[in-house]
Amino acid sequence: MKKNYIEQNLSDLFAATKEIKPDKNEKFVIFSDLHLGDGSNNDEFKKNSKLFKKILGKYYLEKGYTLVLNGDIEELQKFSLPKIKTKWKKIYNLLKKFALNHRLYKIIGNHDYNLLTKKTNSPFKIIHALKLNYNKNIIFIFHGFQADYFVEKFNKYFGFVIRYIFKPLGIKNYSTAYDSRKKFKVEKNVYHFSSINKIISIIGHTHRPLFESLSKVDSTKFKIEQLCREYPAASIPEKENIKEKLANLKEELLYFYTKNKKLGQRSSLYNSNLIIPCLFNSGCGIGKRGITAIEIYDEKIFLVYWFNSNKNKKYIEYNINQPEHLPYTDFYRLVLKEETLDYIFSRVQLLS
């Protein structure tokens, strides 16, 4: 019953979604789950606000990106929109600059769903989802709560429950993003829908970055296996390069299993020997040490991580890719994963 409801829900959303054909040189960046609040201690966005403001204004705006905000941008289940807009006025001014250049798409999420009501004065046009058409191959961008049965059915009651029951009782971590079982269920629903329809889906909602349907641990294991296969036929200089990459990947994997055991214990959620690279997740803007995002440009797709070097030196010292420094700041951009769209679409079409 629940499965059929979700499949129909996603099918209806897909059919109703506007489709655009990006220009060859158009660049996209996708953020989700910023959860802007009122600046109080309960405002989860507060800790990364300086980082987000800088990268939005000094990187993505200046470099001509089209900005896709994929749901849960405002935390309207806890705070009122006027208070949020007042506190984060500079953020909204930056968003207006993207909008004035027709470079902003704002997608609805479950935490900011009230933006669709007539009483809420949203400063931007709100859409339910977005489809990007790359040579008849579709990238489907939506928040992801539409694949979460409980949230989809009862979301309209959550704001009341959170404000008047959970908050007074001090109950936190009630959302899907804090429950691994719920995360996997949502992601599995989207994965199933995407593989059947031979499309790529990019979601948020679970706060868990995903690239080619793989978790961080699975992706690291996959890359190690790939490099080991390349090693025998490589030249001597290439072999040295592969050895260096493998050492860094092994260091990452060791970190997962020793210092971050919860992450290390996560295996692929799809229980499949053949993973179809149809599911991506931009993560969230309220990470403890930084912000993740999905970028699409030059016919490639990237999972990137923005972080403050004062808080997270690990990513400067141990990684295959060299972090890119944002001038006159302590902030860095690191490409965690990248792949060509042609290669991913080919695998989706052939393996689904």
pLDDT of 224 reads: 84
How far lies 99's CA from each of 169, 218, 225, 227, in Å?
A: 40, 37, 43, 43
Q: Is the pLDDT of residue 152 over 70?
A: no
pLDDT in tens, 163-195: 545 555 455 555 555 666 778 889 999 999 999
Q: Tell me: pLDDT of 219 over 90.
A: no
**The pLDDT of residue 342 is above 80:** yes
pLDDT of residue 227: 86
Question: Does the structure show a pLDDT above 50 at 298?
Answer: yes
Crossing angle of the two packed helices 180-197 and 2-16, in degrees rounded to 10: 60
Encode pLDDT of 62-83 as tens digits.
Answer: 999 999 999 999 999 999 999 9
User: Which of the two residues, 339 and 157, has the higher pLDDT score?
Assistant: 339
Write out 95-154 in H/E/C secondary structure: HHHHHHCCCEEEECCCCCHHHHCCCCCCCCCEECCEEEEECCEEEEECCCHHHCHHHHHH
Buried/exposed 230-259: b ≥16 CB within 10 Å, e otherwise: eeeeeeeeeeeeeeeebebbeebbeebeee
Judged against a pLDDT cut of 80, whether residue 302 lies above it is answered with yes
Range with lowest mean pLDDT among 129-133, 135-139, 155-159, 198-202: 155-159
Residue of 131, 262, 151 lying closest to 199 (CA atoms): 131
Confidence band of 149 (pLDDT split at 50, 70, 90): low
pLDDT band at 110 (very low <50, low <70, confident <90, very high): very high
Query: For position 252, what pLDDT does the model report?
Result: 78
pLDDT at residue number 164: 47
State yes or no: pLDDT of 108 exceeds 50: yes
Regarding the domain delimited by 2-214+269-351, which CATH topology (the fold level of the hierarchy) does it fall under? Purple Acid Phosphatase; chain A, domain 2 (3.60.21)
Task: Say how far apart CA 302 and CA 148 lie, in whole Å.
Answer: 26
Q: Which residue has the higher pLDDT, 58 or 268?
A: 58
pLDDT in tens, 112-133: 999 988 677 788 999 999 999 9
Domain ranges of the chain: 2-214+269-351, 219-261
Give the tokens for residue 101. 């250049």
Highest-scoring range by mean pLDDT, 92-101, 233-242, 315-324: 92-101
pLDDT at 75: 95
Percent of the chain past pLDDT 70, that is, above it, reads: 82
